[in-house]
Amino acid sequence: MSLPPFGCRLLAAAVTLYLIGLLCVCADTKGGGTAPKIPGCTNDFQMVKVENWVNGESGETFTAMTAQFGALLPSDKDKAVKLPVALTTPLTSCSNLTSKLSGTIALSVRGECTFSAKAEVAQAGGAAALILINDKEVLDEMVCDENATSMNVSIPVLMITTSSGDALRNSITQNKKVELLLYSPKSPILDYAVVFLWLMSVGTVFIASIWSHCTSPKKNDEQYDELSPKKSSNDDATKAAEDETLDISATGAVIFVISASTFLILLFFFMSAWFILILTIFFCIGGMQGMHNIITTLIKRRCNKCGQKSVKFPLFGNTSILSLVVLLFCLVVAVVWLIKRKTSYAWAGQDIFGICMMINVLQVARLPNIRVATILLC
């Protein structure tokens, strides 16, 4: 029994992978808080959009998360009210406040007392809402005190990350007028962004799996002299591809797992802005390499003679002009993305670099058996 054509098998594999991704998306559910439910402490944790203005000029939009207690924020942006922001004195908001907070959003820091105690102090000071600055770059769930029997907080309480809070604090300490607009948009039943991410990840693996087949050199129909046989260019391309392939052994997989786990532990304990910047630079280098390999491969696929011209460099020797031009293009794209990485549209460049890097990694790394794959999945 003959196998179906390659195109049919390709389509079947693509449909299967995408269906698996969609099933995983549909099976994704949100977990609720584990804190005990007491009167006044029954809110669900919700993500909040925080739009800010500094001296009347619109700034970066932050992301925050509400507490398990307090008033609910409007889901419609048009129903939200823009209010000025004021720092609490003391900044921890754990004792009677001396700052004037009437009709303002109180900005405080985490620590020294419970979340609910901070909210009650801010509410007693006349604040219209309370924003807590977390001591790390994540949003923690603000739950009620386990010993509390009821809560009487009638203002919204939410948390922002350290970097967002520092930006607001710096503007306020410079005597700039800071205003915020808080609203919590409703989450859709089916988050299309999650669907897009799943399709993109499955598509990346699928493209990497067929990349070698689709980009392999076309077979030549040239005649060979029987007395002096020539070496086929296809054989050269196949040998070059084999030289660039890395076979991962079981020992190498164990070393990789241990090294990666150690790196994650160090990342957890020594997280800092400089450390994140270093990781971002390494990500740019990996993305540049992947993008360079993909672009040069596609160009050579369409034009075999494009990569023949070369120039000589002192340290690198003979270098293809095509490879050099593509490398400069990738470098420009990486630098632009690195500078603009905090903008709202930077996700596109980040996804492109990530896809290129993963396709390149999946082409280089080769798992000889299922035992190695199992070790890497641990």
> Domain boundaries in the chain?
47-183, 192-216+236-377
Integer CA distances (angstroms), 158 to 31, 75, 132, 142, 200, in order: 19, 15, 6, 8, 32
- Count Cβ atoms below 10 Å from residue 366 Cβ, excluding itself: 12
Indicate whether this model's pTM tops 0.75. Answer: no
207 in helix, strand or coil?
helix
- Count Cβ atoms below 10 Å from residue 87 Cβ, excluding itself: 19
Least confident of 4-18, 142-156, 333-347: 4-18
- Give every CB contact of residue 97 below 8 A, 6+ residues apart in sequence: 88, 89, 90, 121, 122, 124, 125
Q: Does the pLDDT value for residue 224 go beyond 50?
A: no
Q: Does the pLDDT value for residue 215 go beyond 80?
A: no
Identify the band that residue 29 occupies on the pLDDT scale cut at 50, 70 and 90: very low
In contact, 92 and 116? CB cutoff 8 Å? no
Which one-letter DSSP state was computed for residue 36?
P
Q: Does the pLDDT value for residue 233 go beyond 60?
A: no
pLDDT of residue 2: 47
- Give every CB contact of residue 360 below 8 A, 6+ residues apart in sequence: 286, 289, 290, 293, 294
- Count Cβ atoms below 10 Å from residue 53 Cβ, excluding itself: 18
State mean pLDDT over 103-115: 87
Place of tokens 């420009």: 332
Least confident of 129-138, 143-152, 255-264, 291-300: 143-152
pLDDT of residue 36: 52
Least confident of 34-48, 278-292, 327-341: 34-48
Q: What does pLDDT average to over the chain? A: 78
In contact, 361 and 294? CB cutoff 8 Å? no
- Regarding predicted confidence, which is higher, 22 or 47? 47
Length of the chain equals 378
274 in helix, strand or coil?
helix
CATH of domain 47-183: 3.50.30.30
Question: What's the pLDDT tens digit per position in 171-209?
Answer: 888 888 888 888 888 877 777 778 888 888 888 888 888
